[in-house]
Amino acid sequence: MMRNSVLEPVARDTLTRQVIETIKRFILQEDLKPGAQLPSERELSEALTVSRNIVREALSALVAQGIVVKLAGKGNFVGEYDQKQLMTSLPLTLGERSQSLLAFQEARAALEVGAVGLIVDRVTDEEIDYLQALIDIQHQKHRDGKSTIKEDIDFHLKLLAITHNKVIEDMSPLVIEVFRRTLIEAPSSLRINPERIINEHQRIVDALRVRDHEAALKEIVIHLRVPSFRA
């Protein structure tokens, strides 16, 4: 039987390497100086959709390399590192990854945009309340200066679940993979202001609340921001 490698679980050692590389790129892209505090284990775990054990393994490896310093009870901080050496330690596959990321983004957009009709027709008041609760949590976490990536992922997974179509739901790991690849490609996304995302989620829910197919389609296409899709 043909296997779909895209939706198969990523190997543990591969996930650890991805987290290591993401943290290295984050340090470089943000131009973090020695002593700068890194996102917490929880934030990294939620953002990269990996377990905290994977994050700890990656951080331990970076501590061993002197790139990260762990202070008990305080968190993880950037250590003394050689910028050129850190750059050369990263794989030179960024261009290939960009193409791959776009392909994943297009596939994810095709899935969510194609499901809009089912979502609007089948959404229940209880499911709308669930989506609204996720947005409310995003608002609160944003005000508290915490990462909202987990709620962002949960929002889109719930949209696909609302179709009540098992085949579509089985494709939902594609959404998680897009988030993970985006952060690996551009780890500075960890610090992007989520206010725009929250507002766009609200407009999607507002359209679903009145069962407006046209408005829901428009808002989801705008939200996904994939150039090849038009509202």
- pLDDT digit string (tens) for 138-156? 999 888 888 888 899 999 9
pLDDT at 83: 78
Domain match, 35 and 139 both: no
Residue 38 tokens, joined: 């890194």
Domain match, 191 and 216 both: yes
Amino acid present at 184 = I
Domain match, 98 and 204 both: yes
Mean pLDDT of 119-129: 98
Last residue of a domain, one of 65, 88, 111: 88
In this predicted model, which residue has the larger pLDDT, 229 or 161?
Answer: 161
Cα–Cα distances in Å, from 168 out to 100, 121, 165, 172?
22, 15, 5, 7
- 68, 76 contact by CB (below 8 A): yes
Query: How many domains does one find in the chain?
Result: 2
pLDDT tens digits along 166-209: 999 999 988 988 888 887 777 776 666 689 999 999 999 999 99
Cα–Cα distances in Å, from 18 out to 26, 29, 54, 64, 161?
12, 16, 10, 17, 28
Residue 84 domain flag: yes
Residue 229 domain flag: no
pLDDT tens digits along 12-70: 677 898 889 889 888 888 888 999 999 889 888 888 888 899 999 999 999 999 999 99
Of 149, 148, 155, nearest to 208 by C-alpha is: 155
pLDDT at 3: 40
